[in-house]
Amino acid sequence: MIRLASIVFYRLIARNLPCTFWPGGGLFSFLRKLCLIGAGCKIGSSCEIEPKIEIGFSPDLVVGDRCQINENCYLRSALIGNDVMIAPGVVLLDRQHHFSSIDIPMAMQGASERKRVVIGDDVWIGQNSIVMPGVRIGSGAIIGAGSVVTKDVPNWAVVGGCPASVIRFRK
C-alpha cells in the first residue's frame, strides 16, 4: 500500500514541484527522493532529484551517493554508481520491442525481457542521450550530449555520436 501511495503522490505532486535552485528547492528534491524510496527505488545520500523524472510503476532503480538526476529523464531499470551526473532529457531504456516478423505488426510482437543499465562511478551523461538496454558504462566515462549508446563504454572513455563511439580517453 505504501508503494502505491508513494507512486501516486510522486506522479501527481512531487514530480511536478520546482527545481532545486528555487527557494526551498532542497525540500522539493527531498520529497521526490522520499517518494522514489517509497516506490521501491534505492536512492543514496546527498542526491539531487529534479522534476519530471519518469520511473514507471515497477521501477528497478538503484542510485548511489551524491548523484544529480536532472529534469525530464526516463529511468526505470538502472544501477547508477556514486557521483553520477545525468543531464536533462536522458533516457535509460530497459527493454525494446521485438520486430523480427514482417507478418505481425511490431506493436503485437511483444517486448524483450528487461535488461538493467549499469553506470559506474563518476560518470557524466550529456543532455538528451539515450542508453540502450543492458549497456554498461564504465567509471569515469563521459557520454556526449545527444549520443545513442548501443554498446558497453570502457572506464574513462569520452564517447559521442549515433551510435556512440570512443572519441578519446580521459586518462
Q: How does strand 142-143 pair with strand 157-161?
A: parallel
Question: Interior CA angle at 24 toward 23 and 26, to 5°?
Answer: 120
- Whether the upstream peptide bond of residue 163 has omega within 30° of 0, thus cis, is yes
Of the residues 3, 97, 98, 151, which is catalytic? 97
The reply to whether 98 belongs to the active site is: no
Q: In angstroms, rounded to a whole number, what is the distance separating the alpha carbons of residues 133 and 82?
A: 20
- Reference 158, options 142, 145, 147; nearest CA is 142
Q: Which residues contact 102 (CB under 8 A, 6 or more apart)?
A: none
- Reference 34, options 47, 16, 18; nearest CA is 47
Name the residues annotated as catalytic: 97
